[in-house]
Chains A and B, each alone.
Chain A
Amino acid sequence: MLMKDSAVNEQIKYDVAIIGGGILGCFAARNLMRWNVSAVLIEAEDDVCKGITRANSAIVYTGYDNKPGSLKAALTVQSNRDFAKLCEELDVPFSRCGSLLVAFDSEAETVLQKKYHNGIRNGVNGLKLLSGAEVLELEPMLSANVRVGLYAPDTGTVNPWQLGIAACENAMANGCDVWCNETVSNIVRSENGYWITTSNKKVHAKAIINCAGLSADQVQNLLYPAEVSLDFDGADYLVMDKAIAKPKHVIFHETAEGKGITAVPCTEGNLLLESTARALTVPFASTLEGIRSVKDTVKAVLPQVDTTKVIRSFGAVRPNLRGRNGENISDFYIGNPAPDFYSLIGVKTPGLTCADALGRSVAEKVAVYLHAEENTAFSPVRKGIAKTDGQIICQCEQITKGEIIEAIKRGATTVDSIKRRVGTGMGRCQGSRCTYAIERLLEEEIHGENVRRAKETI
């Protein structure tokens, strides 16, 4: 992403600094712009939404999983209702495909019943407990051994980084600055706020919103001892070729041992398969056992899915939030160690579903603290990059040169950031045919001429 050219100014001042440009930071930024405040979003990577936001299940949950009365339950139910409107405002594809939580044994049946009643208490619409036969009628791709299912018609799916990038673009259009390649390394108090040291800059902010994802506890620890800490586990994912037969609904699989695999028919047309949780190895690395166990389990749950047609596999990192005594904290946690400092720490599922609501909640708190006035010029609307006719660069996904150039105009500076804006290289050849052509377009657009890339030496 490009940033405003204030790099040389040593004394940059903002009302609010948002640390971390994952989906939560992007939505905090977007919602801050509803008030008359100046703000900067500071991201360590070369683009936004490359952390947890890049490796998750892309599901918009309904809220039947969450404990009645919890913040999670309330935000999830409300966010699900508002999701179509949000995606319309931000011009991001959203598919309300519905979900089936299915079980193959009697022990798991009781879990489904519990979730059903939870859901009813939480106010989730349209939930139905179905017999095996009824499940198969809705989703004939499931194994005939299915015993029961919990149907949730309001479950949906959205591309998480597209949504985050859309929120970021919307924040920028409303006046927020975005800095990439800037890691926050130190924070000190000043008379009326904080001095924040980043990789290349020093910036003053009257208030901080900490959305640093996997490092959010550490960022808060720079100044305030956090009452919570994070530890991590992992999961493995497979992305399947678009051409295979796939279920129409999100499929959750409940086993006697707990949560099994998840299958998500994504908005792009690929089926995404997720393993059960496992111990973390290297962050964002997948494991062979995980990849193989997903394939084996899918064969039993969705026997008609052709598990040989994988186009990509990847690993994910799940943060687990712990209290002072190491106890698990299952609800969303908003840290507030000082009136001018808010932290979203350890937000895992359903953080994507609730990103706008969580971002709005912290933005509102900060705005109230700053006595900020409402920004009457705020526009919630952002236009996505439209499909255009013309020369095709990415053959698998049929992405044109015009779309790629538009992504570059909007700030993409790498092949990867173009990929996440227009979908190039997401298909069955995974960029093996178009990557170099895109690199050349980047050079032409950014340098104004076709500069030869510096030769790497052997």
Chain B
Amino acid sequence: MEKTCVEQKKQYDILIIGAGVAGLSAAKSAYELGCRSILVVEHTNYLGGILHQCAHYGFGDGLNGPEYIQTLLDAFPNELEYRLNTTVIGIHADKTAVLSSAEYGVQTICFSQLILAAGCREIQAGALDIAGTRPMGVYTAGQMQEMINVYGILPQSPVVILGSGDIGLIMAKQIAEIGGEVALVEQNSVLGGLERNQWGIEQYAIPVYFDTTITELHGEKHLSAVTLGNGAELPCKTLLIAVGLIPNQELLDGIGHPDWLHLCGNCNRIHAMIESVVYEGKKAGISACEKL
């Protein structure tokens, strides 16, 4: 197997899945340690991962997401090989990964070390105990963040956000900033998230319904209202779900945690600060090199 791979130049010392901050940091550190056989594979058509859609400031030295990515890319070794619009659809115990792309179709790549930096996904409405109809106008908060910041599409107001973690808070502030009517629903009796993200709630006097959750959706084609745990109905046209993130570890189903596998970033555990993502990425690059 390995032999065929070498013949077809599909053998890499290190394969990195995901070109977010974690994957890019891992690639850079492995390169700096002398590794020259690295491939970074990225599902989207850009480098930088989730930061691409984070228009708010608060990354590193007061930068917004895209600016922060740019600092990473400026320091990125030119020779590093990466492929965009390419998705890893399987990882196997014999140290092969299956890639799918328009250019190469379905292709098997062999590697010695694997760095999984595939980020996380959001918990979506369907996973929650929410009854009612299934109208349009229900999104995850990150999905709406991408629609607003990358594609310039604004949500229909009023907006209700379920969950007051960092992403819920950031979205509430942004929607208030652009003139939308917004309210938060939080099951605990205090706001979640970082203190700096909580300020916006006070600043824009955003109503927060504490100690309750959303139990039902209304609206035949488009969302018209949500019901809260106490029976109250909140009229709204958009609902954003911001109740948590789940590491993308499905590729590991059936292979467990072999010693050639290194996880970093949100794919390993959910990070609140970019510094710890960079740190974990570096560490993954180093430990992969050590095993070579």
Contact = CB atoms under 8 A, between A and B. Distances in A.
B276 to A, nearest CB: 24
Nearest to A433: B121
Given A400-B100, A436-B146, A458 B132 contact: no
A291 B129 contact: yes
A310 B105 CA distance: 32
Interface string A380-402: 00000000011110010010110
Interface stretch (B135-143, B255-263, B267-275): B135-143
Interface stretch (A105-113, A128-136, A256-264, A278-286): A278-286
A455 B152 contact: yes
A391 B101 contact: yes
11 contacts: A236-B131, A282-B133, A288-B215, A395-B87, A398-B100, A400-B100, A401-B102, A432-B143, A433-B121, A436-B143, A455-B154
B74 interface: no
B25 to A, nearest CB: 22
Nearest to B139: A432
Contacts of B147: 436
Nearest to B157: A458
Interface in B92-111: 100-102, 105-106
Interface in A421-446: 428-430, 432-433, 435-436
Contacts, number: 106
Contact of A430 (B43, B105, B126, B175): B126
A290 interface: yes
Given A288-B215, A453-B153, A455-B152, A390 B105 contact: yes
A398 B133 contact: no
B248 to A, nearest CB: 8
Interface stretch (A141-149, A222-230, A311-319): A311-319
Contacts of B218: 282
A429 B121 contact: yes
Interface string B132-166: 11100001101100110001111111000000000
Contacts of A428: 121, 127, 250
Q: Chain A, interface size: which category?
A: 35 or more
B125 interface: yes
Contacts of A9: none
Contacts of A429: 121-122, 124
B62 interface: no
A171 B183 CA distance: 49
B126 A390 contact: no
Interface of A: 236, 239, 243, 282, 284-288, 290-292, 309-315, 389-392, 395, 398, 400-401, 428-430, 432-433, 435-436, 452-453, 455-458
A429 B87 CA distance: 16
B264 to A, nearest CB: 19
A435 B102 CA distance: 20
Contacts of A455: 152-154
Given A395-B87, A432-B139, A243 B250 contact: yes
Chain A CB count within 10 A is highest, among B86, B87, B146, for B87
B84 to A, nearest CB: 10
Contact of A313 (B100, B131, B156): B131
Contacts of A398: 87, 89, 100
B127 A389 contact: no
Contacts of A435: 143
A285 B217 CA distance: 9
A456 B124 contact: no
Contacts of A284: 133-134
A432 B100 CA distance: 21
Interface residues of B, number: 44
Interface in B4-30: none
Given A285-B133, A398-B87, A398-B100, 13 more contacts: A236-B131, A243-B253, A282-B218, A290-B131, A311-B126, A315-B133, A389-B106, A391-B102, A456-B153, A457-B154, A458-B154, A458-B157, A458-B178
B233 interface: no
A400 B122 CA distance: 22
Interface SS majority for chain A: loop
A287 B253 contact: no
A239 B180 CA distance: 34
B216 interface: yes
B85 interface: yes
Contacts of B179: 458
A456 B126 contact: no
Contacts of A309: 127
A390 B101 contact: yes
A457 B101 CA distance: 36
A432 B87 contact: no
Nearest to B85: A391
Considering the complex of A and B, which 4 residue pairs feature the smallest CB-CB distances, nearest first?
A312-B126, A389-B105, A392-B87, A432-B140
A458 B182 CA distance: 11
Contacts of B121: 428-429, 432-433
B151 A436 contact: yes
Contacts of B106: 389
A239 B218 CA distance: 20
Contacts of A291: 129, 131
Contacts of B139: 432
Chain A CB count within 10 A is highest, among B133, B147, B157, B180, for B133
A458 B154 CA distance: 6
A390 B124 contact: no
A311 B124 CA distance: 8
B131 A389 contact: no
B216 A288 contact: yes
B115 to A, nearest CB: 18
B122 to A, nearest CB: 6
B185 to A, nearest CB: 16
A290 B132 CA distance: 11
A238 to B, nearest CB: 9
A315 B133 CA distance: 7
Nearest to A309: B127
